Homo-oligomer: A and B are copies of this chain.
Amino acid sequence: MSRLPIAVDAMGGDRAPGEIVEGAVRAAAEVGDVVLVGRSEDLGTEHGLDVIPASEVIAMDADPGSSVRRMKDSSLVRTAEAVRDGKASAMVSAGNTGATMASALLRMGRIKGVSRPAIATPIPVPGGTPTVLLDAGANAECQAQWLVQFGQMGAVFARERYGVARPKVGLLSIGEEASKGNPLVKETHPLLAEAALAGEFIGNVEGRDIMSDDVDVVVTDGFTGNVALKTLEGGLKALVAALFGAFGASDEAKAAAEVLMPQLLPLYAQLDPDSYGGAMLLGVDGVCIISHGSSSATAVVNAVQVAADMVDHGIVDQLRTAVST
C-alpha cells in the first residue's frame, strides 16, 4: 500500500534531536517512509532521510498559543503544515504538548462536526488490552456534548488501534449509579446513553476501573483525565522505584532479583510509556501522534508505527463518520 511519509518533528522532546533522529532512522527501515522536520544544521546528514527545513524551535515550556502564532517557521508548525499540504500522511512530535495540539488544530483544522479535539492516551493493563483515556488534557473545561463526541471518537480509536470489536465505553465518575458525579457527569450520562457509538456505553466507571479490562474507553474532561493520568504515572513510578530499592538491598536480594528478571521485564516493558507509541489527538483533520516529552529512539519508532497504522486504517474518515451519526 502506498502511503505518504510520516513527518517527525526532529526538534521536539527532551532528548531531541539525537534520540528523535535515531528513532526516525530506525522507523524508516522498520515501518516506512519518514521525513524529518527541523534545522538541517542540527540534524547532520548521516541519517539519510529527507528533511523539511524549519529554522525555529518551540521550547518545551513555551506558551503554546503565542509561540505557535509567532513562530511560523518552527519545526512543530512546519510538521503540521506538511500534513495539511499533502507532503506527509501524519505527524509525530515529542515536543511541547500544548504547542503540538495548537499546531495541529491551526494547520490541519478540525474534522467537520467535531466541537473540540481530545487527547486519547492508552493506559496499559497488565496482561490485557490498554484502556483508552480521553480527554487526557486538551480541554481543561468541557461541555457535555463534547464528552459525547469523545466517547464516539474514543470507541473508533479503541477499535482501530487495539482491534476491540465492540469497545466498552465508560464515563469516569465517583460511583456507578447514574446519579453520582459532578454536574457535567450527570448531564453527560443520559446523552452518552442515547448516542450512536461504535461500541457499548456501560455507564459510569470509577478510577479503579481504568487499569482493568472492565472498560475499553474512559471518557472524562481534560482536567480530570490529566490528573488521573499523571496520578497513575506518579504512583507506578514510585512503586517501581521502591521495588528496585528492595531488589538492591543486599547481595542475596540482588541475586534473587536476577532470577526474576525474565518474568519482570515484560511487565516493566508493558508499563513503560516508551512502548505505548504515544497518545493521539482525535478530532483534527489529520493523524497527529503526541509522544512523551522524554521519548527515546524506541518511543519514536513506536509512535511512527502507530501513525502509519492509523493512516492505513483511514482513522480520520472513520472519526468523521462517527461524529456525524
List the interface of chain A (C-beta within 8 A of B).
Answer: 125-127, 137, 140-141, 172-174, 180-183, 185, 206-212, 220-224, 226-239, 241-243, 245-247, 249-250, 252-253, 255-257, 259-260, 263-264, 267, 271
Contacts and interface: CB of A to CB of B under 8 A. Distances in A.
Given A227-B207, A227-B228, A245-B127, A235 B238 contact: no
A234 B211 contact: yes
10 contacts: A140-B174, A207-B228, A208-B230, A208-B237, A211-B234, A224-B227, A236-B236, A243-B267, A253-B263, A256-B256
Contact of A259 (B227, B256, B271): B256
A249 B234 CA distance: 27
A230 B230 CA distance: 13
B207 A239 contact: no
At the interface, is chain A mostly helix, strand, loop or mixed? helix
Contacts of A264: 243, 246
In this complex, the member of A140, A206, A223, A231 whose beta carbon has the largest number of chain B beta carbons within 10 angstroms is A231
A206 to B, nearest CB: 5
B234 A236 contact: no
A235 B206 CA distance: 12
A301 to B, nearest CB: 25
Contacts of A267: 242-243, 246
B243 A252 contact: no
Contact of A260 (B182, B185, B220, B246): B246
